[in-house]
Structure 1
Amino acid sequence: MNLKRKVEVAVISDVHLGTYGCHAKQLLTYLNSINPKTLILNGDIIDISQFSKRYFPKSHLQVIKKIMDFAADGVDVIYITGNHDEMLRKFSGTKIGNISIVDKKIMHLDGKRAWFFHGDVFDASIQNAKWLAKLGGYGYDLLILFNRLINWILVKMGKERYSLSKKIKNSVKRAIKYISDFEEVATDLAIEKGYDYVVCGHIHQPKMIVKKNKKGETIYLNSGDWVENFTALEYQFKRWKIYNYNTDKRSAFFADEDIKTMDIQDLISAITIFNPKAVKRQ
């Protein structure tokens, strides 16, 4: 029985494959539960900026293999570059089979225009001081590792998990102002350009809200992340919704059992099969 949900558009961002903070197993469960027409990867999917040969576990490879399987099955996969995978921006405009690499994307959904981009273009700390942003990334990884230790202890004690990074973000006024400013800049630009939806990632804050100014209104959407919030965006039946793994969690689907049983070498081989005839410039 195929229990997968049909979704017109699914959006994930800020997965950070290749880092300790990534929860690839949960993401794989989610991806195995849907049958999307279009899958939008809205930045920071593979954390190239902090890539290390020492850490890229099997579950992370399984996510890449699953995305490639989507493309092979006819799903339109759109990879929008972010700041942690900005090295891919030199390939922007490239199409490999059903996988497109772009810096931004405009889609027409049931008569409405949606503007997709990661959002790091608004982040002055990244644009003007990349070394500082990278330093912050290492500190964030240490915080995530410490948080995992705390959660391991809490689970053993029969208590709920706790997110230190979310607590810090939500309690620091500067962080709250940054998020507010980010949303305001994104929505002001979207209204000025006449977009009905503006869909971002980057700030790891899942959200869906109508934003207005003197010139009009737009719907701001943020897909969140798979480090702290485990969230995605879904468009179906002319409506957007935020999927939350913790509250909308479904049991694992076994239609992709072959991925689960493949060893690391098999996964690498499957991922790196390359057909030069499939590469096109848009």
Structure 2
Amino acid sequence: MNLKRKVEIAVISDVHLGTYGCHAKQLLTYLNSIEPKKLILNGDIVDIWQFKKRYFPKSHLRVIKKIMDFAADGTEVIYITGNHDEMLRKFADTSIGNISIVNKLVLDLDGRKAWFFHGDVFDISIQNAKWLAKLGGWGYDLLTLLNRTVNWCLEKLGKERYSLSKRIKNSVKGAVKYINNFEKVAADLAIENGYDFVICGHIHQPKMLFMTNKIGKTTYLNSGDWVENFTALEYQFKRWKLYNYNKDKLTPFFADEDLKEMDVKDLIAAITIVDQPKKNKHI
């Protein structure tokens, strides 16, 4: 019996495959629970900045294989570039089968305009001091390793997991101000350009906000991340939903059986050969 939820659009961002902070197993569980017509990857899916660590476990390969399987089965996969995968920007506006790479995206959703982009263009630290931003990324990764040790101990004691990085970000006034400014700038630009929805990633803060200014109104949405929050955005029945893995999961979907049995060499071979889309499944 097929229990997978059908959704018109699913949006994920800030997965950071290739880093210790990425929770690939939880993401794979989520991806196995849905059948999207469109899957929008809104930046920082693969963390190319930190690829030199040669850390890319089997669960991370499974995520890539699952995304490619979506495309082979007829799902339109749109990869919007971010700052951690900015090397892909040289391939913007190219397509392979049902997979396309873009820097930004505009969709008509039931008569309303939706504007998708990652959001790093608003980040001054990245635009003017990229080396500092990368240094911050490595420090963040060390914090994540420490956090995993803490959570391992908490789970052994039967206590709730704890996010050090999330706690730090939420308690620092400067970070809160930056997030508020990010949301306001994105909303103001969307209103100025006549977009009903603006959908971002980048700041790892899942959110749905109805925002107004003197000119007009828009809905700001952020898909969050799969490092701390485990969230995604879904569009179905003319409305948006913010999916939270920790709160919304119903039936436990795990990795497909064929993916479980595949070893690393088989997974690498599978993701380097693009399967042909099945007949009558083109979008």
Shorter-chain TM-score range? over 0.9
Whether the 8 Å CA contact 1:80–1:104 is kept in 2: the answer is: yes
Aligned-residue offset at 1:256: 2.4
The answer for the alignment partner of 1:147 in structure 2 is 147
Partner Cα separation in structure 1 for residue 155 and residue 253 of structure 2? 25
Q: Which residue of 2 aligns with 1:46?
A: 46
CA–CA separation in structure 1 for the residues paired with 2:204 and 2:254: 29
Contact 1:13/1:42 (CA < 8 Å) preserved in 2?
A: yes
Q: Distance in 2 between matches of 1:167 and 1:212?
A: 29
Deviations 1:160-214 (A, max 9, x none): 0000011001100000000000001000000000000000000000000100000
Shift of 1:261: 1.1
Determine if contact 2:29/2:254 at 8 Å carries over to the other structure: no
| Alpha-carbon distance, 1:253 to partner | 3.1
**Conservation of the 8 A alpha-carbon contact between 2:28 and 2:255:** no
Aligned residue identity for 1:152: W
- In 2: Cα distance, 1:223 partner to 1:274 partner: 27
The structural deviation recorded for 1:274 is 5.1
Alignment correspondent of 1:73: 73
Q: Is contact 1:234–1:243 with CA below 8 Å preserved after alignment?
A: yes
User: Using the alignment, how far apart are the partners of 2:269 and 2:250 within structure 1?
Assistant: 30
Aligned partners of 2:200 and 2:222 also within 8 Å = yes
Change (3 A) 1:167 1:255: closer
Residue identity over aligned pairs, in percent, reads 79
Native 8 Å contact 1:117 1:199 kept in 2:
yes
Q: Which runs of 4+ in 1 moved over 6 A?
A: none
Aligned residues: 276
The verdict on how the C-alpha distance between 1:274 and 1:74 changes in structure 2, with shifts beyond 3 A counting, is closer
Partner SS, residue 88 of structure 1: helix
CA RMSD of aligned residues (A): 1.3
Distance in 2 separating the partners of 1:26 and 1:125: 30
Question: Over residues 202-236 of structure 1, what are the superposed CA-to-partner deviations in whole Å (9 max), with x where a residue is unaligned?
Answer: 00000001000000000000000000000000000
Any unmatched runs of 5+ in structure 1? 276-282
Q: Structure 1 CA distance, aligned partners of 2:211 and 2:138?
A: 34
How far does residue 255 in structure 1 lie from its aligned partner after superposition?
Answer: 8.2
Contact 2:68-2:274 within 8 A present in 1 as well: no
For residue 268 of structure 2, give the secondary structure of its aligned residue in structure 1.
helix
| Structure 2 counterpart SS, 1:18 | coil
Runs of 5+ in structure 2 lacking a partner?
Answer: 276-283
Change beyond 3 A, Cα 1:274–1:11: closer
- CA deviation map 1:112-165 (0-9, x unaligned): 000000000000100110000000000000000000000000000110000001
Rounded to whole Å, the distance in 2 between the matches of 1:251 and 1:49 is 35
Give the aligned partner of residue 279 of structure 1: none
Instruction: List aligned pairs for 1:31-42, cutoff 5 A.
Output: 31-42=31-42
In 2 relative to 1, CA 254–124 (structure 1 residues): closer, same or farther, beyond 3 Å?
A: closer
Q: 1:90: which partner in 2?
A: 90
Q: Structure 1-normalised TM-score?
A: 0.96
Task: Classify 1:104/1:225 alpha carbon distance in 2 versus 1 (closer, same or farther; 3 Å).
Answer: same
The SS at the match of 1:78 is strand
Q: Which amino acid aligns with 1:99?
A: I
Q: SS of the counterpart of 1:108?
A: strand
* 8 Å Cα contact 1:17-1:46 kept in structure 2: yes
Residue in 1 that maps onto 2:105: 105
TM-score, reference length from structure 2: 0.95
Return the letter of the residue paired with 2:55: Y
What is the alpha-carbon distance in structure 2 between the residues aligned to residue 49 and residue 242 of structure 1? 28
